[in-house]
């Protein structure tokens, strides 16, 4: 699990500008996790870092954080794309996942990120 302090993640995402996504048949905008990872690593302005084996990518001018599983993770290969979205209901945190592992491993991955996202949402409510 990628451990990012929720408040720092929230503030980092809220400081970024809008995002344009690549159209595709995949919920993450790319046909495969590998294609997404390669595109993120080779994108201008990409800030790539490694945390506990995870590859985490963000951009200075976007409200999106990508997390890619390490090779030894049960849900590998997987990509989790989280984005702060402004809409008529206020600010929300959207998540899209591409998981190519077993249903059990993928369900566990989604559950872990949903818990992290809920923690971030709670902290966001404190500020707005």
Distances (CA, A) of 28 to 34, 104, 124: 12, 20, 24
| Residue 8: CB atoms within 10 Å | 11
| Cα dihedral sign, 107-24-54-101 | positive
Backbone conformation region of residue 50, classed left if phi is above 0, alpha if psi is from -120 to 50, else beta: beta
Q: Band of the pLDDT at 17, cuts 50, 70, 90?
A: very low
pLDDT of residue 64: 87
Please write the tens of the pLDDT for every residue from 110-123: 999 999 988 887 88
Residue 116 near residue 65 (C-beta atoms within 8 A): no
Q: Who has greater pLDDT, 85 or 124?
A: 85
Least confident of 14-18, 71-75, 98-102: 14-18
Domain ranges of the chain: 6-127
Q: Name the 3-class secondary structure at 108.
A: helix
Q: Band of the pLDDT at 13, cuts 50, 70, 90?
A: very low
What mean pLDDT is reported for the chain? 79
């Amino acid at each position: 699990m990628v451990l990012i302090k929720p408040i720092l993640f929230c503030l980092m995402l809220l400081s970024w500008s809008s995002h344009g996504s690549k159209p595709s048949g995949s919920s993450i905008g790319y046909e495969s996790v590998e294609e997404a990872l390669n595109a993120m690593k080779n994108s201008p302005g990409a800030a790539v870092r490694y945390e506990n084996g995870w590859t985490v990518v963000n951009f200075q001018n976007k409200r999106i954080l990508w997390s890619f599983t390490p090779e030894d993770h049960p849900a590998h290969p997987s990509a989790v794309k989280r984005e702060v979205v402004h809409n008529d209901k206020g600010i929300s945190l959207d998540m899209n996942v591409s998981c190519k592992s077993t249903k059990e491993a993928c369900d566990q991955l989604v559950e872990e990120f949903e818990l992290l996202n809920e923690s971030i949402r709670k902290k966001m409510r404190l500020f707005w």
